[in-house]
């Protein structure tokens, strides 16, 4: 451990002109290792959950490949919001090197899960491309104000199965989020 801390301290001093104590180095190392282990556990859990719900199987690469550091602000600006328009979705996915086909496939993950009232309120009261009876059924659960934390299924038909009902819902005007 002392060797690793010494090398990291030396690298920081040579590259950035920073002097870092071994204790600071150790804390950073522990936090980084915890983050990467946690990230791998989350990936494995999602892969396993997907299989149990009837979804496809794929090889799960462990370890972080998108970045050498984590940034909440970059994450929050890189992920489209539930109120994003199509042009913003395409731009956001494109900025990550993903095609329109990739975007459509990834949005299919909305076949599983829930959304808070605050993320779909605008859609059920203001959008015109939504099935009227679907919007009305959601308005009973999510009034124009209040009940922000009330939940609705992203896929009203089969929210606990990995299937294509999400896409069929979209074609019939029953997408929960504006971004759908």
Binding residues for heme b: 110
Q: Is 38 exposed, middle or buried (0-12, 13-18, 19+ CB in 10 A)?
A: exposed
- Of the pLDDT bands very low, low, confident and very high (cuts 50, 70, 90), residue 62 is low
**Contact residues for 44 (Cβ-Cβ < 8 A; gap 6+):** 60, 62
Q: How many whole angstroms separate alpha carbon 49 and alpha carbon 46?
A: 5
Residue 139 has pLDDT above 70, yes or no: yes
- Of the pLDDT bands very low, low, confident and very high (cuts 50, 70, 90), residue 44 is low
Torsion of CA 119, 168, 163, 78, to 10 degrees: -40
Residue 42 has pLDDT above 80, yes or no: no
- Average of pLDDT values for 59-76? 63
**Contact residues for 123 (Cβ-Cβ < 8 A; gap 6+):** 83, 130, 135, 175, 176, 177, 178
122 vs 27, more confident: 122
Residue 131 has pLDDT above 90, yes or no: yes
Binding residues: 80, 110-111, 155, 158, 163
Residue-averaged pLDDT of the chain: 75
pTM attached to this predicted model: 0.61
- Of the pLDDT bands very low, low, confident and very high (cuts 50, 70, 90), residue 122 is very high
The strand pairing partners of 114, in sequence order, are 153
Most confidently predicted of 28-32, 42-46, 129-133, 166-170: 129-133
The strand pairing partners of 151, in sequence order, are 116
- Average of pLDDT values for 92-118? 83
- What is the reported pLDDT for 110? 77
Residue 141 has pLDDT above 80, yes or no: yes
**Length of the chain in terms of residues written:** 180
Residue 65 has pLDDT above 60, yes or no: no
Binding residues for Ca(2+): 111, 155, 158, 163
- What is the reported pLDDT for 22? 54
> What is the helix (H) or strand (E) element at residue 120, kind and residue range?
helix 117-126
Q: Helix, strand, coil shares of the chain as percentages rounded to 5?
A: 55, 5, 40
Strands 151-153 and 114-116: antiparallel
């Amino acid at each position: 451990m002392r060797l690793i801390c010494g090398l990291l301290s030396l690298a920081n001093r040579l590259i950035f002109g920073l002097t870092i104590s071994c204790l600071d180095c150790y804390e950073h190392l522990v936090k980084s290792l915890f983050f990467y282990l946690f990230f791998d556990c989350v990936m494995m859990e999602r892969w396993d959950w997907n299989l149990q719900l009837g979804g496809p199987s794929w090889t799960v690469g462990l370890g972080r490949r998108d970045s050498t550091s984590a940034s909440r602000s970059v994450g929050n600006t890189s992920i489209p919001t539930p109120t994003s328009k199509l042009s913003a979705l395409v731009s956001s996915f494109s900025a990550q090197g993903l095609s329109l086909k990739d975007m459509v496939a990834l949005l299919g993950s909305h076949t599983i899960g829930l959304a808070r009232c605050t993320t779909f309120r605008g859609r059920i009261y203001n959008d015109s491309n939504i099935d009227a009876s679907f919007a009305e059924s959601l308005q009973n659960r999510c009034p124009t104000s209040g009940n922000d934390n009330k939940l609705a299924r992203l896929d009203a038909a089969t929210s606990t199965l990995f299937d294509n009902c999400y896409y069929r819902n979209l074609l019939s005007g029953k997408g929960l989020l504006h971004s759908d």
